[in-house]
Amino acid sequence: MESTLKAPDVEIAAEFAQLTKIQKLAAFLLILSPENAANLMKTLDEHELEEVSAEMVKLGTVSQDVQREILREFSGVAVDAATAVAGGMDRAKVLLEKSVGTFRASDIIGRVSPQHASVEAMQKIADMEARQIFSLIRNEQFQTIVLVTSHLSQDKASQLLALFPPDLRGKIVERLATMLPTSLQVVENVAEALLSKSGSNRTQTASTQTGGVRAAAQLLNTLPQDMSKSILASLCEHNSELGDAILKKMFTFEELALLDARTLQTILRDVDMRLLAVALKTAPEKLKKTLLSCLSKRAAENILEEIGFMGPLRLTEIDAAKGQILDTVRQLESNGDINLEEVRHKPRY
């Protein structure tokens, strides 16, 4: 029996030993078929998905020998590792879309892609709490406020927008919707200038970022309904064409009543019934009747019973439930399971 490993085996062991747990998991997912990898990725939370996706993007080719070591560690899973597998942006994007849908996949890929990750100065601002960002930019020029907002996640952008005076919110959304790509140098200069004011001046790189009508619509979709309607009304008053364009990219909870029964059944299959009960607590009778008619008689009765047993609910809790259901709607549309274009082109408000 040999007491030492052969030279190639030593190299393989050294290469494998350098991999972190996250890198091993990323490589393991790349080895699996897209369907099996997607099923496993569905069990990860948002933070884990982002970490694993970032490693997938950075991985080059995983050799057959290293694959065997990874499969040995992930014992109990049978996979045919017959060829070398490649990582990279395209592969990570395919697996993410299969596991979490196009909508969330684009958001995650946007955060972990090498181009986006290089914007360290702006990313440092984006990682701050919404109130910290507000304090940092509230007295800055208007175009700076919009530029920073365009680099935030939708949830954080909506939190930031809520901190501005109502008359300024509509202007921010309008500028975001008409925003053109910003040069690397401008983004870099703005981010570093802001960081220097907060005592965090570092030499960073940056990339372009664009807003657009879809970005504005997605931002409005994450806001409380009364705030979203107020901003849209203000926008439509002085720029009806832009307001109409944004509306066509939006979809509200109440507009579920405009969908056909088959589409609603597809949506409701993916919605938790307790969540639906909360969302329907104060819903118009027409919407409530439409949605419940797409459920079995027993399920509909259970929802009505659940609503009847509920005490008073905070508006924020009801809005949160509606928002989660709309997230499901957007993901189903991104996956191609439903089509909302007909509804989007109907007159609204």
Which residue, among 219, 293, 288, has the nearest Cα to 253 in the 3D structure? Answer: 288
Which residue, among 31, 33, 34, has the nearest Cα to 84 in the 3D structure? Answer: 31
| Bridge partners for 85 per DSSP | 62
Which residue, among 235, 52, 223, 233, has the nearest Cα to 154 in the 3D structure? Answer: 223
Q: For residue 88, what pLDDT is reported?
A: 57
Report how far residue 141's alpha carbon sits from residue 279's, in angstroms, rounded to the nearest whole number: 39
Segments making up each domain of the chain, as ranges: 7-113, 121-248, 253-344
Report how far residue 182's alpha carbon sits from residue 175's, in angstroms, rounded to the nearest whole number: 13
Which residue, among 216, 104, 242, 110, has the nearest Cα to 161 in the 3D structure? Answer: 216
Burial of 241 (0-12, 13-18, 19+ CB in 10 A): exposed
Which one is the CATH code of 253-344: 3.40.50.2300, 1.10.220.30, 3.40.50.300, 3.40.50.720? 1.10.220.30
- Percentage helix, strand, coil for the chain under 3-state DSSP, each rounded to 5: 70, 0, 30
C-alpha count within 13 angstroms, C-beta hemisphere, residue 16: 18
Which residue, among 233, 259, 278, 247, has the nearest Cα to 332 in the 3D structure? Answer: 259
Query: Which spans in 79-150 are helix H?
Result: 89-112, 114-117, 120-126, 130-137, 142-150
Which one is the CATH code of 121-248: 1.10.220.30, 3.40.50.2300, 3.40.228.10, 2.40.50.140? 1.10.220.30
- Whether 121-248 shares its CATH topology with 253-344 is answered yes
Report how far residue 326's alpha carbon sits from residue 321's, in angstroms, rounded to the nearest whole number: 9
Burial readout 22-48 (b: 16 or more C-beta within 10 A, e: otherwise) = ebbbbbbbbbbeeeebbebbeebeeee
Q: For residue 96, what pLDDT is reported?
A: 65
Q: For residue 75, what pLDDT is reported?
A: 53
Q: For residue 156, what pLDDT is reported?
A: 84
Q: For residue 108, what pLDDT is reported?
A: 61
Query: Which spans in 208-340 are helix H?
Result: 213-222, 225-238, 240-248, 261-269, 273-279, 285-292, 297-309, 315-334
Residue recorded with tokens 């020029």: 141
| Bridge partners for 104 per DSSP | none
Q: For residue 229, what pLDDT is reported?
A: 77
**Tens digit of pLDDT per residue, the chain (349 long)?**
444 444 456 676 676 777 788 888 888 877 777 777 777 777 776 677 777 777 777 766 667 777 777 777 765 444 444 344 555 556 666 666 666 565 456 556 555 554 443 356 787 888 888 888 998 898 888 888 988 888 887 778 888 988 998 888 888 888 888 877 666 667 777 888 888 876 654 433 333 444 677 777 777 766 776 777 788 888 888 787 787 777 766 777 888 888 889 999 999 999 999 999 999 998 889 999 999 999 999 999 999 999 988 888 888 888 888 888 988 887 887 777 887 766 654 545 4
